[in-house]
Amino acid sequence: MLPFIRSDLDKLRAYKPHPGSNTSQSIDRLDTNESPYNLPSELKQKLAWTYQEVIESNRYPDAGHDELKAKIAEYVNQSAHTNITGANISVGNGSDEIIRSVLIATCVGNEGSILVANPTFGVYAIFAQTLGIPVVSVERSPINFEMDLAAAQNAITQTQHPAIRVVFVVHPNSPTGNALTTDELVWLQSLPEHILVVIDEAYFEFSQNTVVSQLAARPNWLVLRTFSKAFRLAAHRVGYAIGHPEIIAALEKIRLPYNLPTFSIAAALVALQHQQLLLNVIPHLIAERVKLTHNLAQHPSLQVWESAANFIYLRLKTDFPQSVDLLHLIHEQLQASGTLVRHISGGLRITVGSPEENQRTLNHLQAALSPLIPIS
């Protein structure tokens, strides 16, 4: 490695969420939990008009995001009967950027470790490692993916030099699709105020389950949301944090001044303005998820979990001795047949797509599994 590069980076690999994914029409990209639906053409036209007539490409973007923050606050308040304002919001180049800002604002310089419960969203640990921040992991139940709260509490009390400063949870969790339980929420509420609790609600629009109404009473909680999933704007990279104005002020100090391109700000504003049009497909996607879950669960070789999001997690039943290797083969065969899914933590995470994509998922998975079915 180059002699001027930090030696701990040697162990890390660049983040490539979907190897083999491309823009080919014949591939079902069900590995990154995007919406299967593009922005409707009338909204694209509106954005194209904005680009043509309003945006000055020679000018830097709005560095304060004031209008977007105000509109996001309105949207958040609709869902939770809260009094969130722009002072409670920080906007990032995807919520990924905010995750990194959180880590920089809390733990960098040997000031803190983070706690995650695996399997969960890998970005928290990956970004922490790139910043030299220690990651403490506890397990989830292999039956229902609830966090091992005894182990988590133990990690909080035992971890030193540096102590745990941030706990990251996803609500509902990725890859497993389960929402936080009452016990988990009670445990998060019990954490002392010197520990930041980050609750990532990337899939809120699918779960309709949010902790936002608790934020007023909890200055050490931060909620993350994104426009990348239900709002169909993954290409534009817009995410946001909701929290106490002092946490928000710290995040604002750390973010890059012009972190969001003007066109992305415009896209997020259009999406919020037309939220009903964009979000009205969600009941259909949920109905598709229910149907796909049911159909997959019929297969004798599969264990399939209920999900509160727009993806489904499954594993091979444990009576197959080499189930992990088999899963690798199945994943490869799915990819060869044109269905991209995530192979993660000994299971497959499959995004709910259009009805046609979901039918192909079933067919391709059935074909990949057929050698496993005992011949009668």
Ligand X SMILES: *Cc1c(COP(=O)(O)O)cnc(C)c1O
Provide the minimum distance between the beta carbon of 296 and ligand X in the complex, in angstroms, as a whole number.
21
Provide the minimum distance between the beta carbon of 372 and ligand X in the complex, in angstroms, as a whole number.
30
Provide the minimum distance between the beta carbon of 327 and ligand X in the complex, in angstroms, as a whole number.
21
Provide the minimum distance between the beta carbon of 228 and ligand X in the complex, in angstroms, as a whole number.
3
Determine contact, residues 205/310, Cβ cutoff 8 Å. no
Residue 35 vs 113, nearer CB to ligand X: 35
Q: What's the CA gap between 140 and 137, in Å, rounded?
A: 10
Residue 173 vs 301, nearer CB to ligand X: 173
Determine contact, residues 215/244, Cβ cutoff 8 Å. yes
Provide the minimum distance between the beta carbon of 349 and ligand X in the complex, in angstroms, as a whole number.
10
Per the document, the length of the chain is 376
Residue 94 vs 347, nearer CB to ligand X: 94
User: What Cα–Cα distance (Å) separates residue 366 from each residue in 145, 190, 245, 306, 334?
Assistant: 25, 45, 51, 19, 10
HSE on the CB side for 296, CA within 13 Å?
31
Provide the minimum distance between the beta carbon of 104 and ligand X in the complex, in angstroms, as a whole number.
16
Provide the minimum distance between the beta carbon of 204 and ligand X in the complex, in angstroms, as a whole number.
11
Residue 96 vs 184, nearer CB to ligand X: 96
**Per-position DSSP letters for 302-352, written without gaps between them:** EEE---SSSEEEEEE-TTSTTHHHHHHHHHHHHHHTTEE-EEETTEEEEE-
Residue 88 vs 174, nearer CB to ligand X: 174
Binding site for ligand X (CB under 6 A): 33, 94-96, 121, 170, 174, 200, 202, 226, 228-229, 234, 239
Determine contact, residues 289/335, Cβ cutoff 8 Å. no
Residue nearest to ligand X (CB): 94
Residue 121 vs 221, nearer CB to ligand X: 121
- For residue 342, what are its two tokens? 């995530």
- For residue 366, what are its two tokens? 């059935």
Q: Is the dihedral of CA 169, 175, 178, 183 positive or negative?
A: negative
Residue 187 vs 311, nearer CB to ligand X: 311
Tokens 């830097």, residue located: 60
Determine contact, residues 221/247, Cβ cutoff 8 Å. no
